[in-house]
Amino acid sequence: MTKTIKTRVQRYNPDLDDEPYFQDFDVEYEPGMTVLDALLYIQDKFDSSLAFRWECRGGQCGSCAVRVNGTARIACRTKVEPDEVLILEPLEKLPIIKDLVNDISQVTFRIRRIRPYVARDKLPEQYPEIMHSDSIEKLREIRKCIECSACLSNCPIVAETWDYPGPMIIRQLARLELDPRDVEDRIAMAMNESVYSCTTCKMCTDICPKSIDIPALAVELLRAKAVEAGYPLASGQQGFIDQIKATGRAVPEKKTPLLKEIETEEFLVDNPRGRVAFFTGCLIDYRMQNTGKALIDVLNRNGIDVIVPKEQWCCASPAFRTGDLHTAQDAARRVTEIFEKISEKYDLDTVVVACAGCGKTLREDHRPFIEEQRGEPPMFKVYDMAEYMLDVIGKENIVKPKGEIKMKITYHEPCHLGRGQGVIDQPIELLKMIPGVEYVEDPYKNRCCGAGGGVRAGQRELSQKIATTKKGYIEDTGADMITTECPFCTIQISDILKGTEIKTRYIPDLLAESYRLGDEKE
């Protein structure tokens, strides 16, 4: 028997239809089948007028970007899941010509606006022109772009405003900035094209058929060059940097910080199954002391020794994100030194983080920088808390939380946890272990909340717009509570949910609460 897949395709001919509608087709499944194969099957067997673009079928031309189950992908390199309904829609943000074919004239216009070619004021003195491999290495990577426009579709910034030209075009600016032959002031252009609007959510990287890390290789690169060129940061962003430089914390002290409150740095258990150091990050130390304590409690209950160094330093994520490389790199050195010393002192090799932003920064920014500087990376491994529990302690070994929390709970996947560290299912697994919790999946759970990348600090209005869109998705789930694993997301989401019944919680808090309730029961 041949297997068929239910395929729902958005149809729309603005000449004839008042609005788009979905049409269902049964597509015969073949192993290895791509979304493009499914579309061609429909076109050949059912309706030759079904409009979509394609050319090369090899991921090289970038014609066939469509939304596959909500996320933009190039059809020829996206495999069909045999057991799922396949929903195909045109890209977001761009007007529809027909069915899955978007009008890309806005994109073309926006590309031309940045003078997207190598501008020279003189030709080379000799041919062949001498260029060394190292001068084109980074350039080579971001030049793989095939202009499929997919990244524009799910970009949370572009969704709110065309003031930002989107990942693909910002990437082109970085490509030109990196080209030793180009003479235009691409930094001024990047400022003019709102390079500080990006939240570095990495959706574009996830979508990119060439996996180009646009936030790091383009956005942050252009920002660092802007800072170097003397462009001031927004005052909100500069405030963080000044705080870090003065105190090692990105925010000012209010009530007693966690690291001052705790009397010892050693939280040891009998017969430990493991030992970790806890990197608190600024917000858990200064603003969410209870979350910090909850995390220590949860790990201790699961037989893990927790070492909390009393002297810690900011990971400097705000500096990495906004381009103050001096502050950023200084912090990377300090953090590495502190935790290498602790590792040695306590004979451990694992650092646990409960903040998505810190974890991403330690892994994606500190690690390669330190390795580049001294030839070897930091001597400790970094784990997110949920990842550590599921992947290291192991689901079967986790002490079951017994206190019932009877609620409909959804989850917001912090960008820097999901796409930044590849931690996607573990936090949800933890949630599901709590008795009474009814987990409701938000199809947009990995949509950026608008806080990151210096956007909340620097462009509050834009940040609020992104958050308001997010709020709509959260409300659509019908959940009583949204949980997450990043202090920054927690602040942003609880702000935007003010005035609603929906509560915002940090996962370790919720877990600790269930343990406590369980204790009381017994």
Partner 1 sequence: MEYKTIMCDVLVVGAGGAGCRAAIEAAKHNLDVIMISKELLGKAHTAMAEGGYNVSLGNVDPDDNPETHFKDTIVGGNYLNNQHLAEILVRDAPQRIFDLEDMGAVFDRTPEGKIAQRPFGKQSWRRTAYASDRTGSEIMVTLTEAIRKTSVRVFDEVFATKLLVTDGKIAGICAVDLKYGDYLIFRAKSVVMATGGAGRIYKVTSNAQLDVGDGYGMAYEAGCEMIDMEMVQFHPTGMVKPESAKGRLVTEAVRGEGGILLNSEGERFMKRYYPDVMELAGRDQVARSIMTEVLEGRGSPDGGAYLSIAHLPKRIVEFRLESMIEQFEDAGVDIREEPMQVSPTAHHFMGGLKIDENASTNIPGLFASGECTGGVHGGNRLGGNALADTQVFGALSGETAAKYAKENRHLGIDRDAAIKEFERLEAMLQRKDGVSPADARDELTALMWSKVQIFRKEEDMAEAVKELRRIEKEVVPQIKVDVPVKRFNPGWHQAMEFVHMVTTARMVAEAALMRKGNRGAHYRVDADPDETGYYNIVIRKGKDGEMELTKEDLVITKITPP
Residues that bind partner 1 (CB under 8 A): 13-16, 30-34, 36-37, 43-44, 47-63, 77, 79, 97-99, 101, 103-104, 108, 111-112, 115-118, 120, 123-124, 127-133, 136, 139-140, 143-147, 179, 181-182
State which residue, 3 or 345, has the beta carbon closest to partner 1: 3
* Smallest gap from residue 86 Cβ to partner 1 (A): 15
Residue 95 tokens, joined = 């007007």
* Whole-number Å distance between alpha carbons of 235 and 249: 17
* Smallest gap from residue 126 Cβ to partner 1 (A): 10
CA end-to-end span of the chain? 55
* Smallest gap from residue 335 Cβ to partner 1 (A): 31
Is beta strand 71-74 parallel, antiparallel or unpaired with respect to 407-411? unpaired
Q: In what order do the strands lie in the sheet with 274-279?
A: 266-267, 304-307, 274-279, 350-353, 381-384
State which residue, 98 or 470, has the beta carbon closest to partner 1: 98
- Per the CB < 8 A criterion, the answer to whether 329 and 315 are in contact is no
State which residue, 209 or 323, has the beta carbon closest to partner 1: 209
* Smallest gap from residue 101 Cβ to partner 1 (A): 5
Give the three-state DSSP class for 488. Answer: helix
- Per the CB < 8 A criterion, the answer to whether 272 and 304 are in contact is yes
**Phi, psi angle pair for 467, to nearest 5°:** -65, -35
* Whole-number Å distance between alpha carbons of 134 and 284: 41
- Per the CB < 8 A criterion, the answer to whether 201 and 453 are in contact is yes
Q: Token match 């406590």: residue?
A: 516
* Whole-number Å distance between alpha carbons of 95 and 105: 9
Give residue 300's identity as a one-letter amino acid code: N
* Smallest gap from residue 486 Cβ to partner 1 (A): 32
What are the respective helix, strand and coil percentages of the chain, to the nearest 5? 45, 15, 40
Closest C-alpha to 488, from 277, 289, 195, 288: 288
State which residue, 49 or 373, has the beta carbon closest to partner 1: 49
Alpha helices, DSSP H only, in 323-381? Answer: 325-346, 356-360, 367-374
State which residue, 107 or 222, has the beta carbon closest to partner 1: 107
Query: What is the C-alpha R_g of the chain?
Result: 25
* Smallest gap from residue 131 Cβ to partner 1 (A): 5
* Smallest gap from residue 394 Cβ to partner 1 (A): 29
- Per the CB < 8 A criterion, the answer to whether 435 and 401 are in contact is yes
Closest C-alpha to 172, from 150, 151, 143: 143
- Per the CB < 8 A criterion, the answer to whether 445 and 372 are in contact is no
* Smallest gap from residue 298 Cβ to partner 1 (A): 39
Residue 511 tokens, joined = 């877990």
* Smallest gap from residue 354 Cβ to partner 1 (A): 34
State which residue, 42 or 354, has the beta carbon closest to partner 1: 42
* Smallest gap from residue 210 Cβ to partner 1 (A): 8
